[in-house]
Amino acid sequence: MTDSLHWWQTGVIYQIYPRSFQDSNGDGVGDLNGVLQRLDYLQSLNIRTLWFSPIYPSPMHDFGYDVADYCAVHPLFGSLADFDRLLAATHARGMKLVLDLVPNHTSDEHPWFVESRSSRDNPKRDWYIWRDPAPDGGPPNNWLSFFGGPAWTFDEQTQQYYLHQFVKQQPELNYRNPAVLQAMLDAMRFWLERGVDGFRVDVIWLMIKDALLRDEPADPAWDGVNPHASLQHIYSADQPEVHDVIRAMRRLLDSYDDRMMVGEIYLPNDRLMTYYGAALDECHLPFNFQLINAKWDAQTVRRLVDQYEADLPPGGWPNWVMGNHDQHRLATRVGPQQARVANMLLLTLRGTPTCYYGDEIGMENVPIPLDRVQDPPAVNQPEIAHIVGRDPARTPMQWDASPNGGFAPAGVRTWLPLADDYAIRNVAEQERQPTSMLHFFRALTALRASTPALYAGAYAPVDTGVDEVFAYTRSHGDERYLVVLNFGQGNHRLDLRALGERAAIALSTGMLSSGDIRLRQVYITPNEGLLLRLI
Ligand code: NOJ
C-alpha cells in the first residue's frame, strides 16, 4: 500500500519565508541564491517538500502577497534563471518545490488592475469587483478587511468602490468572469511547465463572493478584540461556487504528472472537508490549522485529532500544521518546554506535516521595536498589534553566532531585527549539541521518513488514564509504534499493558534512542514525549 502513496502524502513540507531565510547579496533581505546555499541543510532535515512564500514582483505592501506579475521573480529575490537553478538543485536532491499562488487578489500595480481602474468601460473593468457607493455615498456593504477598516476603497477617478479584504493595495479579482480564471490558469501553467511541483493556494476559500454582495450579520460571540471577527463571514467567504474554480485548477494540475495543491482554508471541519471535493477532485490537501489554534492540553488535542480523523472524507488524506508566517511562533504559543512535544505530535500524527522555518531550532516570537513594525495589520491597528502583528514570527533565520546570525553579512541592516538570543539559539550551536532541538527534530524526521507505520500507518488513540498525557498508536502491517506525550508538568506512571509486554525506545524528547521498557510501568516526566516501537 505504501508504494501507491504520493510524495505529498509521505513527505514533510517545510515552509520557507524567502525574505528571512538567507541573504546572499547583503541587502538585508533573503533571496533565492541564499536558499540554494542552504539546500544541504534542508536536505539534512529529511524534508521532502519546500514551500516558498511569494517570490513574485510586488510593491510589498503585504510582503509579496500583493503580486504585480505572476510570471516573474522579484529582483529582490533574484531572477528566473536563479529560480530555475534552485529548482534543478532541489530536484537533484530528491526534493520537491511548491510555490505560493495568490489568485484571490493582485497588487494594485498589476497591469490588469491598472487597466481595470482606468475607466468604467475598460475591458478589464469586470476583472475586479467594482460597485457604486451606497445611497449615502459610503461603501456598498458592511464587509471588513482582515487588516482593519472597511473592505472597500473609493476610486475618485471612476467614482466607484473596489473590494479588498486585505490592504487597499490588494484589489480582489472577480472569478465570476471566466476570463479571470483562464488568466490565472495560464500563470499556473507557466510555473508547471518550468517544473514546479505544485502550489500552496492563498486564501482559496475566499475566491468567490456572494453574487449580491449582501451585508454580513454581526457575530454575537465576538470577543471585542479583532474588528474583523465582529461579523460572520457568510457572504465574503466559502461560497458554493468557489468549488468550480478549485476543480478547474485541479484539472490543470492533473493534466501534469504528479503535481499537487494545498489550499489555505480557515474553516471548521464540516466546511473544511468540502475542499477535498465531492469526488476528491479539489485540493489534495486543505490545510488543517486546528493545532495552531487549539488550547494546548492533552484532552483538547486528543479530541480534535479524533474528530478530524472521523470527519475526513473517504480517501481524503489528512494533514497537520503547527505554524506559519501568519501565526505566533510555535515555541511562543506552547512554551519552549513543550516545543519538542509539539514537534513529536506534528511529526507522528497520520498525514502530511507542514513545518515552519526556524521551528526546528525552537525560534520564538521576536519583539519588534515600534519604529520597525512593518506588517500592515499591526501598523493599521496598533492597539491590537501584539495579537495580530506577524513580524515577530518572520524574523531572520538564526544560523550562527556571527553578527546578523549568518543570515546576512555583518553590518547590514536586516529587514526585520534578529532575536536577541540568536548567538545562543542558532543552527551552528545546535549542531554541536547532541541533544539539541535540531538533532531531535532531525532524528524525528529521519525515523518518520524510514518508517511506514509513521508516514502511512493507521492512527488509534490510547487511553492512558492520565489527563495530561495523550497517547496513540500508528500501525502498518506488523509494525506498531506508540507515541506518549506529556502535555503537563507532572511525573506519571502509566499502565499500558493492554498494548503488550515490552516496547523499544525509538526516540524520546530527551534524545534516548535505545533500550526497552515494560509497558505495565511506563514512566513519563514533565514535558516528555516518547516514541516507542511495540515488540
Ligand atoms: C494569507 C497569507 O498567508 C497572508 O500572509 C496574507 O497576508 C494574506 N493571505 C493575503 O494574501
pLDDT tens readout for residues 145-188: 999 999 999 999 999 999 999 999 999 999 999 999 999 999 99
Measured between alpha carbons, how far is 145 from 120 in angstroms, rounded to an integer?
A: 24
CATH number at residue 514: 2.60.40.1180
Measured by CA distance, the residue closest to atom 4 of ligand 1 is 326
pLDDT tens digit string along 171-230? 999 999 999 999 999 999 999 999 999 999 999 999 999 999 999 999 999 999 999 999
The angle subtended at Cα 492 by Cα 490 and Cα 498, nearest 5°, is: 145
pLDDT tens-digit series, residues 326-348: 999 999 999 999 999 999 999 99
* CATH number, position 70: 3.20.20.80
Collect all residues with Cβ–Cβ distance below 8 Å to 391 and sequence separation of at least 6.
Answer: 366, 368, 372, 373, 374, 375, 378, 416
CB-defined site of ligand 1, < 6 Å: 62, 65, 102, 166, 202-203, 264, 325-326
Active site residue 282: no
Residue 126 has pLDDT above 90, yes or no: yes
* Nearest alpha carbon, ligand 1 atom 11: 65
Per DSSP bridges, beta strands 502-508 and 529-534 are antiparallel
Q: Which atom of ligand 1 is nearest to the CA of 65?
A: 11
pTM: 0.98
Residue type, 56: Y
Query: Which three cell numbers mark 181?
Result: 480564471
* Confidence band of 1 (pLDDT split at 50, 70, 90): low
Distance CA 433, CA 363 (A): 16
Taking the centre of ligand 1 as the mean of its atom positions, its distance from the CA of residue 264, in whole angstroms, is: 9
Catalytic residue among 108, 202, 282, 326: 202
Average pLDDT over residues 84-113: 98
Residue 216: per-residue pLDDT: 98
Average pLDDT, the chain: 98
235 and 337 inside one domain: yes
Ligand 1 atom having least distance to the Cα of 104: 11
Convert the pLDDT of each residue in 465-507 to its tens digit: 999 999 999 999 999 999 999 999 999 999 999 999 999 999 9
How far is the CA of 488 from the CAs of 298, 393, 525, in angstroms? Answer: 8, 25, 9
What angle in degrees, to the nearest 10, is found between the helix axes of 437-450 and 339-348? 10
How many separate domains does the chain show?
Answer: 3
Question: For a pLDDT cut of 70, what percent of the chain falls above it?
Answer: 100
- Is residue 170 in a domain? no
Report the SS3 class of residue 407: coil
Check if 264 is active-site: yes
Q: Does 409 share its domain with 504?
A: no
Atom 2 of ligand 1: nearest residue by CA position: 202
Query: What is the domain range of residue 14?
Result: 2-105+178-442
Residues 487 and 425 in one domain: no
Q: Which of ligand 1's atoms lies nearest the C-alpha of 326?
A: 5
Residue 169 lies in a domain: no
Domain check: are 414 and 501 in the same one?
Answer: no
